[in-house]
A = this chain, B = another copy of it.
Amino acid sequence: MTEPIRVTVWGENRHEQLEPEVARRYPDGMHGAVAQGIEGRLGSGVQVRTATLDEPEHGLTEEVLRDTDVLTWWGHAAHGDVSDEVVERVHRHVLEGMGLIVLHSGHWSKIFTRLMGTTCTLRWRAEHDRELVWTVDPTHPIARGVPHPMIIDEDEMYGEFFDVPTPDELVFISSFSGGEVFRSGITYRRGFGKIFYFRPGDQEYPTYFHDGVRTVIANAVEWAVTDRPERTTPTLLRYDTEDFYNGQGYRGALKAGGEDTA
């Protein structure tokens, strides 16, 4: 990769408008803080833009997504306001090879639950717990340069059971002052896309200015890039015997509707 990684940082950007203390905490929006963290770590290795809910098509047009190698997603209060059409578009791009980094309360976003197939629920509490983030996969590229443990003085608590598929890789486990634990850094591959879910980060706390949190997100951006010659969806095709490389579509047989192949 000599080309810079094209990153789109998506933010819901509602708390910042409705709650003055969030606006004070994140004067450039939470998405702004995330974007600055990535740029600060990766410099000329990335080209970062932001997009937010209230822009047309939430700022996630076909054109924007086609030009995005990695999308980060933070949402919380307004998951229901994200249009199904945009969700389907993002979903398709992930399967075609766009990386996706889902942050904190994004666990309940339409795009994440769509990709996971589960409820993605958990236990929670917003009581200034201290979070310790422990690395359990120390050679994973996302854990590079991350303290063991990483200490976040105050953050919201998320606890198990976290109703997600068993991750492909479990990178971080968090504990909280109250004794709860959480699989807080987990990876998935879906289609040709790579997905990283990372737990820390609530609007009530300055988590996206935290040094270690920024390191993790920047590492994840680099990890989530899919390096394939073109961006395509896996497609069902018929292959003749001994012709391993030229699949064909198929129209035929049953009239009763639905797919008539395979």
The chain A residues found within 8 Å of chain B, CB to CB, are 14-15, 18-19, 76-81, 91, 95, 97, 105, 107-108, 114-119, 121-125, 127, 129-130, 132, 134-139, 141, 144, 148-149, 151, 156, 158-163, 165-166, 168-170, 173-175, 177-181, 183, 188-194, 226-228, 233-242, 244, 247, 253-262
Q: Are A247 and B123 in contact (CB under 8 A)?
A: yes
Q: Are A179 and B189 in contact (CB under 8 A)?
A: no
Shortest beta-carbon distance from A113 to chain B in Å: 9
Q: Are B239 and A125 in contact (CB under 8 A)?
A: yes
Q: Give the CA-CA distance A103 to B34 in the complex, in Å.
A: 43
With A79-B259, A173-B160, A236-B108 known to touch, is A227 a contact of B119 (CB < 8 Å)? no
With A174-B181, A175-B179, A178-B242 known to touch, is A256 a contact of B77 (CB < 8 Å)? yes
Chain B residues positioned under 8 Å from A168 (CB to CB): 165-166, 169
Q: Give the CA-CA distance A214 to B167 in the complex, in Å.
A: 29
Shortest beta-carbon distance from A260 to chain B in Å: 6
Chain B residues positioned under 8 Å from A238 (CB to CB): 123-125
